[in-house]
Amino acid sequence: MKHLKLASAVVAACALTLTACGDDDGETDYPTEAIDLTIPFGAGGATDLAARAMAEALADELGQPVNPTNREGANQITAVSYVNDATADGYTLLADGGGSSTLQSLLEDLPYEWDDRTFIARVASGSHAYAVSANSGIETMDDLIEAIQEDPSSFSIAWLGGTSTSDFTTLQLLAEIDVDANDINWVPFTGSGDAMQAAAAGDVDLAVGGTSATAALYSSGDLIPLAKTGEDPNFPDVPLTADEGFPELDMIYWVGLSGPADLDDAVAEVLATTLEGLSDDEDLAASFEDLGMVVDVLTGDEFEVYIETEAETFAELDGALED
Amino acid sequence: MLDQLAAGLAEIMTWERMGFALLGCFLGTFFGVMPGLGPVTAIAVLFPITTYLDPLSGIVMLAAIYYGGMYGGSTTAILVNIPGEVASLPAALEGYPMTQRGRAGAALAVAAISSFTAGIIGSLGVIILGSSVAHLALRFGPPEMLGLVLFALTAVAGLVSGSMFKGLSMAALGILLSMVGYDMISGSTVMTGGTWTLAQGFAIVPVMIGLFGIGEILRTLTTRGHSAKSAPLGKLMPTKKELKDSVAPTARGTAQGFSFGLIPGMLPSIMALLSYSWERQRAEKKGGSQFGNGDIRGIAGPEAANNGAAMGGFVPLLSLGIPTGPSMALVLGALMVYGLTPGPTMFTQNAEFTSGILVSFLVANVILLILNLPLVPMWARLARVPFHVMGPLVLILCLVGAYLDRNSFFDIFVCLGAGIFALLCHKASLPLAPLVMGFILGPMLQETMRQSIAMSGTFYLERPIFMAFAGVAILTIAWSIWRARRHTTSLRRAEASS
């Protein structure tokens, strides 16, 4: 660790001497070397692929390589700590998301302040789906609500440990229909893929996850996504929650970019502008579409407000749970 | 079905695609040979490159990388006792002693041939079965998985030839170690002593590299005299007897691996350990077992089971999008990026593409066999490099491998710690394989148990598949304890003194 810090310090010092000459106009020639993008989970999942798509697009635009590095473990805390502690020169960035930022606001004894970082941009977002077994007899959101309200304690729902936006999509539904979340029979799972499989088999009555997690079992006819919380061009037949009469059920998950707290404004600006320029990029849109996501760029103050609002929503929903 | 195969073959047999397959095999082998870098990392790192190709070429290359990684992993395990992934553990347990005896060539060749056989038969199996048995996967909910985990734990009985008590204790230690860290289900930290470093938990790859790779180096250093000399270079290719001995284990491994591979959660690595355990028990019952000292059957069976299970896993993956393990999840991600949603249409509307995928597995297996057999003499010569050159090199490889698994410095210390622990275990003659088994089954045991109880307080009475597995598990344990007790009085004495 020490050597790495020393190396980073040397690099930073060199960078300082270099920029010192042309610093008069407030411009930055960032980036002049490869950028390390820390991905807070293991390789291969849909979110990892999304972060990699973002890295690739960024590298094309910036003209410097953007190298994704997976640092998994400890519920994404390891990766966030790593980026927090890195030199704030813009060459170590975090592939951020709800799980590594706003959801962490709910955690006690976090080794850092959750919002003590530079939020640069949200790049893409995806929506969630409420899914039930094809044999459940439940066909619409109204059927679902009726079934939950009838006897919450015998209604089983997949729970991902409260570490995922999917869980808060579920809590949002329960709050909306005035069902006490503590009455539900929660069955724990570690990923939405497993949860969807259990829902399809009828082992749980309801599973909530990213729309893409329902794709295969939906096409095999075992699982019915009753409604989606936002647009997903891959699922034209699944109604929007808003169309079913529940516009408040609008939880999304996102992938974006952040950096250490004292990141230079000029560097953050370069990155934000670059990502804004990708809003209409067709290739990027196509790669995200395959992952069930849409390009949904948000930067600057708007993004800051979005982060705050999301954290507040999570805190409010989390308050409904006893432990 | 045959026309499907022919169509697939025609799709793959272009110069361009064969070139990508060859390149993939080379790259995959390179990753696989490096400890800590297995097929999963290889695919993750090289995946972006393949997205520039057309979907089928991309998949061909990925399949080649994946298989290259698997073949390469066994090579390092056999030659230098570093199992870079759990599935290569049997290859280290039996292959490394063979290397020390000068039979590295035979071990490598048999590993390649049995992997190849299982790969070929498995690909054909997927084509024949299609989506017909895919729904079996949905019959395996949490209670059934719990039964399966309990059943798999009984393999401990065959991972040790001595005391069952020691074996079970080491498995329990493995389960405990696997629990350290951040518990995703309850959202709390377990046994971390309040540090966020430990909240990352222990990863299996650094632990295993430490236990076997570093452990072996320390052992050589602490034993004075003959063991530090380089291994003799015997006859390179397997003898007739070695080949003959490998036939039945390969056949059994393929069948067991493929059929269990159809069940989600039944990782190829677990199947490799189960097959090893079964082959060892079978050999010990028949007499003439060389297990623990380099028995070729302990390489042939597990290598086939690993590859067979990997193939079987494609049935639920392609028809229902249910990945049976991390590498399958990666393939699923790849399919998504190519705009393909797994589902029954993979065997109907997209049948051509699917047979293209399956044929590319066949092709990758053939290329790797052709590639690997001539390489055997070269690899085998590596085993003759004297320890004062090889030792430091292996040590560096181990530490780099431990770091690369999660890009974490913490894992370097974990790896070194595991090495020292392995040395102590060796002195106390405690077996290490059950620890690895407990480590990989621990999280599954915990998760499925919690899920089953949450689903119903009396799940064990409601699920016949669970009851069957649990019953077999209890009987197996009872039987092995009884056998161990009856075996010899000397064993009992050894147990009492420990």
Span A175-189, average pLDDT: 93
Q: To probe the interface with B, which of A103, A290, A293, A323 has the most B CB atoms within 10 Å?
A: A290
Given CB atoms, is B238 within the 8 Å cutoff of chain A? no
H helix count then E strand count, chain A: 10, 10
CATH superfamily of A35-124+255-318: Bordetella uptake gene, domain 1 (3.40.190.150)
Give the contacts of B107 (CB within 8 A, at least 6 positions apart).
Answer: B78, B91, B94, B95, B98, B99, B294, B296, B299
Q: What is the mean pLDDT of residues B428-441?
A: 88
Based on the number of CB atoms within 10 Å of its own CB, is B382 exposed (0-12), middle (13-18) or buried (19 or more)?
Answer: middle
Q: How confident is the model at residue B6 (pLDDT cuts 50, 70, 90)?
A: confident
Contacts of B339 in chain A (CB under 8 A): 290
Please determine whether the domains at A35-124+255-318 and A127-228 fall in the same fold group of CATH: yes
Q: Which residue of A has its CA nearest to B195?
A: A111
If pLDDT is split at 50, 70 and 90, which confidence band does A1 have? very low
- Summarised one tens digit per residue, pLDDT across range B243-270 is 999 999 999 999 999 999 988 778 888 9
- C-alpha closest to that of B177 among B464, B442, B446: B442
Residues A176-192, mean pLDDT to the nearest whole number: 91
Which of A170-179, A194-203, B333-342, B462-471 shows the lowest mean pLDDT across its residues?
Answer: B333-342
Contacts of B358 (CB under 8 A, 6+ apart): B5, B8, B123, B126, B127, B314
**Residues listed for chain B:** 498
What's chain A's average pLDDT? 87
Structure tokens belonging to residue A7: 């190396």
Chain B, window 18-47: residues with a beta carbon less than 8 angstroms from a chain A beta carbon: 40-41, 43-45, 47
Between these two residues, A144 and B149, which has the higher pLDDT value?
A144
Backbone angles phi, psi at A287, to 5 degrees: -65, -35
Residues of chain B contacting residue A74, judged by C-beta atoms under 8 Å apart: 181-182, 196, 199-201
Contact B450 A188 (CB under 8 A): yes
Mutation target to probe the B interface, by most B beta carbons within 10 A, among A3, A5, A38, A49 is: A49
Which chain B residues touch A217 with a CB distance below 8 Å?
A: 320-322
Nearest to B270 by CA among B251, B257, B259: B257
Mean pLDDT estimate for chain B: 83
On the 0-12 / 13-18 / 19+ scale of CB atoms within 10 A, B460 is middle
What is the 3 state secondary structure string of B14-60? Answer: CHHHHHHHHHHHHHHHHHHHCCCCCHHHHHHHHHHHHCCCCHHHHHH
pLDDT in tens, A255-306: 999 999 999 999 999 999 999 999 999 989 998 988 889 999 999 999 999 9
List the single best residue of B45, B192, B406 to mutate versus A (max A Cβ within 10 A). B406
Q: Ranked by mean pLDDT, which of A250-264, B308-322, B366-380 comes out on top?
A: A250-264
**Residue B489 binned pLDDT confidence (cut-offs 50, 70, 90):** low
Q: Per-residue b/e over B311-339, b at no fewer than 16 CB within 10 Å? A: bbbbbbbbbbbbbbbbbbbbbbbbbbbbe
- In angstroms, the CA B493 to CA B476 distance is 24
The pLDDT, as a whole number, for residue B492 is 53
| Higher pLDDT pick, B417 / B84 | B417
Closest CB to A215 among B139, B321, B338: B321
C-alpha to C-alpha distance for A115 and B478, rounded to whole angstroms: 55
Q: Are B299 and B95 in contact (CB under 8 A)?
A: yes
Task: Name the band, by pLDDT with cuts 50, 70 and 90, for residue B363.
Answer: confident
Residue A294, phi then psi, degrees to nearest 5: -120, 150
pLDDT, tens only, B122-138: 988 988 887 778 788 88
pLDDT higher than 70, residue B322: yes
d(CA B315, CA B342): 10
Q: Give the model's pLDDT for residue A69.
A: 86
Q: What is the structure's pLDDT at B315?
A: 87
- What local confidence, expressed as pLDDT, does residue A194 receive? 85
Substitution target in B37, B43, B320, B403 with the highest count of A β-carbons within 10 Å is B320
Global confidence as pTM: 0.82
Q: Which helix (H) or strand (E) holds A193?
A: helix A192-201
Cis peptide before B386 (omega within 30 of 0): no
E strands in B146-264: 181-183, 188-190
Band (pLDDT 50/70/90 cuts) for residue B479 is confident
- Scanning the structure block, which residue is given the tokens 């082992």? A203
- Lookup: tokens for B236: 């390179």
pLDDT of amino acid B85? 80
Asked if B290 reaches chain A (Cβ–Cβ under 8 Å), the answer is no
Rg of the Cα trace of chain B?
A: 22
Q: How far is B455 from chain A (nearest CA, A)?
A: 6
Q: Pick the range with the lowest mean pLDDT from A24-28, A42-46, B153-157.
A: A24-28
pLDDT value for A261: 93
Cα→Cα distances A255→A99, A273, B17, B194, Å: 10, 17, 34, 30
Contacting B residues, span 144-203, partner chain A, CB-CB under 8 Å? 181-187, 196, 199-201, 203
State the CB neighbour count (10 A cutoff) for residue A297.
20
The full 3-state SS of A253-308, as one line of letters, equals EEEEEEECCCCCHHHHHHHHHHHHCCCCCHHHHHHHHHCCEEEEEEEHHHHHHHHH
B134/A220 CB distance under 8 A: yes
Domains of chain A, by residue range, sit at 35-124+255-318, 127-228
Label residue B407 left, alpha or beta by phi (over 0 means left) and psi (-120 to 50 means alpha): left
Nearest to B343 among A46, A212, A219 (CB): A219
Looking at residue A50, its amino acid is: A
Q: Using 50, 70 and 90 to split pLDDT, how confident is the model at A25?
A: very low
Tens of pLDDT along A236-246?
999 999 999 99
SS3 B72: helix
Segment B225-230 mean pLDDT = 50
Residue A14 pLDDT exceeds 60:
no
Which of A74, A198, A216 is facing B200, going by the closest CB pair?
A74
Bridge partner list, A227: A130
Contacts of B43 in chain A (CB under 8 A): 43-44
Q: Half-sphere exposure (CA, 13 Å, Cβ side) for B442?
A: 25
Give me A190's structure tokens.
Answer: 């570690």
Closest CA to A191 of A174, A220, A213, A206: A213
The answer to whether residue B425 scores a pLDDT higher than 50 is yes
B182, B337, B345 ranked by CB distance to A219: nearest: B345
Interhelix angle B55-80/B2-12, nearest 10 degrees: 90
Q: Does B342 contact chain A (CB < 8 Å)?
A: yes
Which of A49, A107, A221 has the CB atom closest to B337's CB atom? A49
Strands, E assignment, chain A: 35-39, 66-70, 92-97, 118-133, 156-159, 185-188, 207-210, 223-228, 252-259, 293-299
A116 CB-contact burial (10 Å; exposed 0-12 / middle 13-18 / buried 19+): exposed
Is the CB of residue B58 less than 8 Å from the CB of residue B99? no
What's the whole-number mean pLDDT along residues A75-81? 88
Q: Which CATH number fits domain A127-228: 3.40.190.10, 3.40.50.970, 1.10.10.10, 3.40.50.880?
A: 3.40.190.10
Contact A290 B320 (CB under 8 A): no
Check the CA dihedral B222-B223-B229-B232 and report its sign.
Answer: negative
On the question of pLDDT at B202 being above 80, the answer is yes
Chain A: closest CA distance from residue B386 (Å): 32
| Pairwise CA distance, residues A225 & A228, whole Å | 7
What is the model's pLDDT at position B497?
58
- Amino acid B161: pLDDT: 62
Q: In A152-260, where do the E strands start and end?
A: 156-159, 185-188, 207-210, 223-228, 252-259
